[in-house]
């Protein structure tokens, strides 16, 4: 056997072991929604939604992306999440911000908006769970 194939067989063995454990793991999985929300609120994952907000109001995406980077740095320096900034703080960066920005950058709204295949919207997650349960026989 050629040496380059050994890694492929090792990977296949590992995948097989993982797949054997998966049904029991999924069957007994307990989701802590509060912890998930807390984790999602860290790390400025809603910065892209903030850039999308600005592009909907006419700012070129490249400019919105750069501006959002500055806003993230500003928030991080103050140990704040984006949704904890005041409207006045947002407006100090751009007059395009309105009070509706908070509706667009809230974590739940960000999750809900991702409704394409494999997205984070509830209906997408439920569809993926049904599909995986069917495939795994659980």
Of 26-35, 43-52, 103-112, highest mean pLDDT: 43-52
**Inside any domain, residue 105:** yes
User: In the prediction, which pLDDT does 47 show?
Assistant: 96
Asked, for residue 68, whether it belongs to a domain, the answer is yes
Q: Is residue 24 part of a domain?
A: no
pTM assigned to the model? 0.70
Measured CA distances, 10 to 21, 96, 113 (Å): 17, 54, 39
Residue 132 lies in a domain: yes
Domain that holds residue 91: 31-138
| Average pLDDT value for the chain | 91
| Distance of alpha carbon 132 from alpha carbon 110, whole angstroms | 24
- CATH number where 47 lies: 1.10.40.30
Please check whether residue 15 lies inside any domain of the structure. no
* 127: pLDDT strictly greater than 70: yes
Number of domains in the chain: 1
Give residue 2's pLDDT band: very low, low, confident or very high (50, 70, 90).
confident
Take residue 88 and report the two structure tokens written for it: 């006045």
Structure confidence at residue 11 (pLDDT): 92
- Answer yes or no: are the C-beta atoms of 29 and 133 closer than 8 Å: no
Asked whether residue 56 is assigned to any structural domain, the reply reads: yes
Residue 101 lies in a domain: yes
Model pLDDT for residues 67-108, shown as the tens digit of each residue = 999 999 999 999 999 999 999 999 999 999 999 999 999 988
Residue 74 lies in a domain: yes
Q: What is the pLDDT of residue 60?
A: 98
Model confidence band, residue 1 (pLDDT cutoffs 50, 70, 90): low
């Amino acid at each position: 056997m050629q040496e380059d194939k050994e890694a492929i067989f090792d990977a296949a063995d590992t995948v097989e072991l993982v797949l054997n454990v998966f049904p029991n793991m999924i069957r007994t999985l307990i989701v802590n929604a509060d912890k998930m929300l807390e984790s999602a609120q860290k790390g400025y994952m809603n910065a892209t939604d903030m850039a999308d907000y600005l592009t909907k109001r006419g700012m070129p995406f490249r400019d919105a992306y750069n501006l959002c980077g500055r806003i993230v740095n500003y928030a991080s320096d103050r140990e704040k999440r984006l949704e904890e900034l005041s409207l006045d703080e947002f407006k100090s960066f751009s007059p395009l911000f309105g009070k509706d920005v908070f509706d667009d950058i809230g974590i739940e709204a960000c999750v809900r908006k991702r409704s394409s295949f494999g997205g984070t919207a509830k209906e997408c997650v439920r569809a993926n769970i049904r599909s995986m349960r069917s495939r795994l026989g659980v």
